[in-house]
Structure 1
Amino acid sequence: MRLKERSGRPFLPNEALAAGERLLAGFTRGQLQPRITASWEPQQASRAKGERGGMADLADSAIAARVAVNRALEAMGPELAGVALDVCCFMKGLETVERERQWPARSAKLMLRTALMALSRHYKPPAPSRRSRVEHWGAEGYRPELYS
């Protein structure tokens, strides 16, 4: 992937990179990475029938991270969330994503940029614009006079 646009600006702005890293941090903190090997942890091997498991064994911070990741994915929408997850969280290359999704060459980087820009707006929404004057619908003198 070319690191700069023709104008000299970086292809992925800093806020997009920070959003991707924040998504990965939440994904990792939420323990959402699938296991590749068998788990030999004694607490799972000794669990009796009917005991709690799954979400009940997670720390509050992991549950909060999962909720935050789900909100971020919802903010990107289903069209963009998949490419962001594949590249940022599952560490797939852009060519792999294009091959798996049967996309044209060099299209994954555009989709990734769009996804990360949407994600950066989710994490840091733009500040509301402040107007210098107060606007209202009433004509001059529409307010009643207050007598004390």
Structure 2
Amino acid sequence: MKRGADSPLARLASRDGSHGGAYLSRAEALAGERLGSDFLRGGMQPRVTQNYEFAVRADSGFSGGSDRLKDTALDCRQRVSDALKAVGPELSGILLDVCCLERGVAEVEKERQWPARSGKLMLKTALSVLARYYGYDETACGSGANAGRVRSWHDNRVASMPV
């Protein structure tokens, strides 16, 4: 995985949009990174080789491995599932491809036979919905004292815990 500055999401977030600012807002970029991070921590990436992590042990037998997953990994998987359900089936695919599997937008457009540059618009729309689901607020994610803070959905105060 290419996490960091080399990821397709980070490259897109650093590019200028037509209005002079960044193409993706800070809230949209944070939402995409959060989804990708949960996907990675949940161990949801496809594997190329066999997984021997949960091999049969003579003393305990085989339990299928699900009881051995850390609670945090299960929580991450649930958060990814909940976020993708909130975004909806129309937009969740582009989020999975770009934010989680780190595929380039042009590659996704070609595979899905979309018109050129339509994937950027679809991704921006999906990230906007995802940012709203996570409770990211542009004023809180912008700059200043509240930069990077999550806006609480149960009241109108900025949450005290940073993202």
TM-score, L = length of structure 2? 0.70
Q: CA deviation at 1:125?
A: 5.9
Q: CA deviation at 1:28?
A: 0.9
Give the aligned partner of residue 101 of structure 2: 90
Q: CA deviation at 1:48?
A: 8.4
Structure with higher strand content: 2
CA offset digits 1:95-121 (Å, max 9, x no partner)? 110011110100000000001111000
Alignment of 1:7-22 (within 5 A): 7-22=19-34
Please tell me whether residue 33 in structure 1 is matched to residue 33 in structure 2: no
1:101–1:83 CA distance, 2 compared to 1 (3 A): same
RMSD after superposition: 2.6
Say if 2:42 and 2:77, in contact at 8 Å, map to a contact too.
yes
Give the aligned partner of residue 103 of structure 1: 114
Distance 2:155 2:51 in 1: 52
> Bigger shift: 15-24 or 116-125?
116-125
CA offset digits 1:29-73 (Å, max 9, x no partner)? 1110111122344x4154789631142221111111111100100
Distance 1:125 1:14 in 2: 9
Structure 2 residue identity aligned to 1:72: A
Distance 2:102 2:79 in 1: 20
Structure 2 residue identity aligned to 1:104: P
User: Which of the residues 109, 115, 118 maps onto 2:129?
Assistant: 118
Distance 2:136 2:44 in 1: 26
User: Which of the residues 71, 75, 80 maps onto 1:60?
Assistant: 71
1:101–1:55 CA distance, 2 compared to 1 (3 A): same
Q: CA deviation at 1:17?
A: 0.4
Give the aligned partner of residue 86 of structure 2: 75
Runs of 4+ in 1 over 3 A off after TM superposition: 45-50, 125-130
In structure 2, runs of 5+ residues without a counterpart are 1-11, 138-152, 157-163
Distance 1:25 1:128 in 2: 25
Structure 1 or 2, whichever has the larger Rg, is 1
